Amino acid sequence: MRLSPRSSVRSSYRPRPMPAALRLVIGLAILVTVGTLTLMLPWMGAQRPLTWNEALFTAVSALSVTGLSIITPVSDLSLAGQIVLLLLIQIGGVGFMVMAVIVFQLLGRRITLTDRLALTDSMGLLVPGAIVQLVRRVLLTVLLIETIGAALLWIHWRDMLGPERALLYAIFHSVSAFCNAGFDLFSGLPQHPYGIPNDSTSLAILGTLIFLGGLGIPVLAELLTFWRIRFSLHTRITLTVVLTLVSIGAGGLFLTEQQPGHPLANESLERQIALALFQSISTRTAGFSAFQPLDELSPAGRLLTIVLMFIGCAPASMGGGITTGTFAVLMLAVGAYARGLASPQIGGRTLAPQTVRKAAAILTVSLLVVLTATWLILITHEASLDDALFEVVSAFATCGLSLQLTGELNLFGQLVICVMMFWGRLGALTLVVALAHQRPQLVTYPEEQVLIG
């Protein structure tokens, strides 16, 4: 039996695979929907079921590992609700594509090339080589670090909270700190009205977890095998930029917050250093505050905090922001232009022009989105510019720090912040690529100069 030409064409037709960026957007949207519906179940609330906007805001904040909240988890969520919140934070932190790959393997399903490409994008990696093996190591590493952190917190908090309650709090805050989420179960308690305990031991454990979670998967993988390999250029740049930003942030906050009426005014020198160091680490997308209350920050401290949040953590990490990689590439490009070099150079290597263009695109899109969202908050709320900008950048950078504006947002403001958290978790270019219809360039036009500067 011979097939007609039309039948042959129809039988050979294969639908085009969904782009990896679009798969990430849809996947996160589905998780947000499932998380919202789950949190709306009657037994998830402590005294009453959560409203749809409370559930939506909490689900987006948890899955984007931000920490901004319009509810108080310790009093508004039941034990079941707190456990669901913990699971959403964990899924959001390690990445839903990582969880999907683990589930596929448990079910015996083959990981397709499209899945590998989507996973590579979600983890911020350059090539999909050996991605499944990397996923296993990532998951084991994450669980090991969180377990060690939880054990140390339980030992430290068991006398203060009791063994059973301390176990829940230790696990919750270890996951929240490593995933750079910023959710806590202390806010609202009479003895901790401003959030986490800010004693030196608690801050040391939580600060270490936040720092490790903000380094990124490729950097952690190299640090765990430092005796076998030479650090890549990415790892060297990341460690240099992260340590520099932490030092600048700690030094800046130490100088600006010692005046009367500001967070460090009544602390000893040792405590001032410890609090400023932790706040600098946490500011770059963790969301825990050692400055209690945070709204006593000086104007200079607020500006420094906004800048640190906007830069954020390393690529392929638990945090957000434009990332330290983008910041480093832009600084190198400026330095190369000032020295008259054709391309940025560092460590005996030249950065590709595409890398510089990508960094410039990320910065441009991020600034436009942040400014637009800030304007929308300002025209719909009676808020000052610094409060609105602080809140928007915190959401964009998936940080979670707030100057008490979150609880005062109306429904429109809550939706704006939800969009910013969603955008910040996926990254500027992921959403742009997912929403844009890209076409190959078929025509090249002659060059012409345009005045700039």
Residue 74 contacts residue 84 (beta carbons within 8 Å): no
What would the mean pLDDT of 218-238 be, rounded to a whole number? 79
Helix, strand and coil in the chain, % to nearest 5? 65, 0, 35
52/127: higher pLDDT: 52
- Mean of the per-residue pLDDT values of the chain: 83
Above 70 in pLDDT, residue 130? no
Query: Which of 20-29, 33-42, 62-71, 182-191 shows the lowest per-residue confidence on average (mean pLDDT)?
Result: 20-29
Q: How far apart are CA 181 and CA 218, in angstroms?
A: 20
pLDDT band for position 6 (50/70/90)?
low
Above 70 in pLDDT, residue 18? no
pLDDT band for position 430 (50/70/90)?
low
Above 50 in pLDDT, residue 351? yes
Residue 158 has a pLDDT of 92
Most confident of 17-26, 207-216, 222-231, 387-396: 387-396
Above 80 in pLDDT, residue 34? yes
Percent of the chain whose pLDDT exceeds 90: 40
Residue 11 has a pLDDT of 47
Query: Which of 107-121, 194-208, 237-251, 355-369 shows the lowest per-residue confidence on average (mean pLDDT)?
Result: 107-121
Q: How far apart are CA 293 and CA 312, in angstroms?
A: 22
pLDDT band for position 395 (50/70/90)?
very high
Q: What is the pLDDT of residues 304-343, one digit of tens each?
A: 999 999 998 888 777 788 889 899 999 999 999 888 888 8
- Which of 92, 249, 295 is closest to 176 using CA atoms? 92
Record the tokens describing residue 150, joined without a space. 């939880």
Above 60 in pLDDT, residue 122? no
Residue 293 has a pLDDT of 81
Record the tokens describing residue 436, joined without a space. 């844009």
Ranges of H-type helices in 111-162? 113-122, 131-161
Residue 332 has a pLDDT of 92
Residue 110 has a pLDDT of 56
Residue 204 has a pLDDT of 93
Q: What is the pLDDT of residues 401-417, one digit of tens each?
A: 988 888 899 999 999 99
pLDDT band for position 432 (50/70/90)?
low
Three-state DSSP class for residue 349? strand
Burial profile 370-399: b = 16 or more Cβ within 10 angstroms, e = fewer:
beebbebbbeebebeeebbbbbbbbbbbbb
Query: Which of 30-34, 120-124, 159-163 shows the lowest per-residue confidence on average (mean pLDDT)?
Result: 120-124
Q: What is the pLDDT of residues 37-65, one digit of tens each?
A: 999 999 999 889 999 999 999 999 999 88
What would the mean pLDDT of 358-381 be, rounded to a whole number? 93
Residues with Cβ within 8 Å of 304's Cβ and at least 6 positions away in sequence, in order, are: 249, 252, 253, 256
- Neighbouring CB atoms inside 10 A of 197's CB total 22
Residue 9 has a pLDDT of 47
Record the tokens describing residue 407, joined without a space. 């609880």
- Neighbouring CB atoms inside 10 A of 75's CB total 12
Residue count of the chain: 453
Give domain limits for the chain: 17-433
